[in-house]
Amino acid sequence: HSGNQISRGCIYSAMKHVIDRVNVVRAANSKPPMAYFGPHTLRHTFATRCFDEGINPKIVQAYLGHKSVNTTLDIYTDINESQKTHNILMLEDAMNETIRRRAE
């Protein structure tokens, strides 16, 4: 509101406040508390979700401001089981299509 940059401490404080409020609701519903995390975790999540949606690694690199795409790929992304399953099914479909075409 003042036009100045938001401080790192302010962001951490705001995130802690939100997580504290979430944990009040979780406790009321007999659920375990959400773990605290900082804003940097959101960069990892953002990069992973970009890859989940098929965004080109060079584009994600630009979004995150990395000099090397290797930083983006090696540090800021995670592979989940559904991605592995989806990709192996894509490979299987491609192989079956190749076999079908050769049989024609």
Confidence of residue 56 (pLDDT cuts 50, 70, 90): very high
* pLDDT band at residue 83 under the 50/70/90 scheme: confident
Give the integer Cα–Cα distance in Å for 37 and 19: 9
pTM: 0.62
Q: Residue 43 CA to chain centroid, in angstroms?
A: 7
Least reliable range by pLDDT among 26-30, 53-57, 66-70: 53-57
Element (H, E) at 69: helix 69-75
**pLDDT digit string, tens, across residues 7-41:** 888 899 999 999 999 999 999 999 999 999 998 89
